[in-house]
Amino acid sequence: MQVHQDLDIHHYTIKGYSQGEILVLVPLLVELTEETDADGNPAKGLQQERLTNSAIITADHLVRDWPPKTIEQLTEADIETLVELNPEVAIIGTGARLKWPERALLKPLIDAGIGYEIMDTAAACRTYNVLSYEGRTVAAALMMI
């Protein structure tokens, strides 16, 4: 599904999602990995990145290959990765369907005073964009649909 919204060229934004992938717009100031400008320097500009593994996205960071593929594989160490990003709110997308993790796994978020929401990944993608666009400090930990 394509996510329609105003384009934010300065932050990581989710452009769309479908079975097995999330399409992310990379901020304008991040160097493109394969292109160069007229002087041979790494090019800068808006690009898209197709994620096919679980990931964490914030306005300023993209953590590729976040380890858990399913909610059953989620560990406290995976949640610690969210805590280290110090968001105001953490959104955990659990795949195609909403599944609640064991409450004990969320202890690092609770101890750090970070609010959290659990939802299916499609809803997590949409919610991330809305909160990020509002200027909230949000991290979305997304397992593939």
What mean pLDDT value characterizes the chain?
88
**Section 87-108 average pLDDT:** 97
DSSP code of 50? E
Q: Which domains does the chain have, with CATH numbers?
A: 13-143 (3.40.1230.10)
Integer Cα distance of 58 and 2 in angstroms: 19
Q: What is the pTM of this model?
A: 0.84
**Cα–Cα distance measured from residue 92 to residue 124, given in angstroms and rounded to the nearest whole number:** 7
Kindly report, residue by residue over 7-42, the tens digit of the pLDDT: 566 789 999 999 999 999 988 765 545 555 555 555
Per-residue pLDDT for 5 more than 90? no
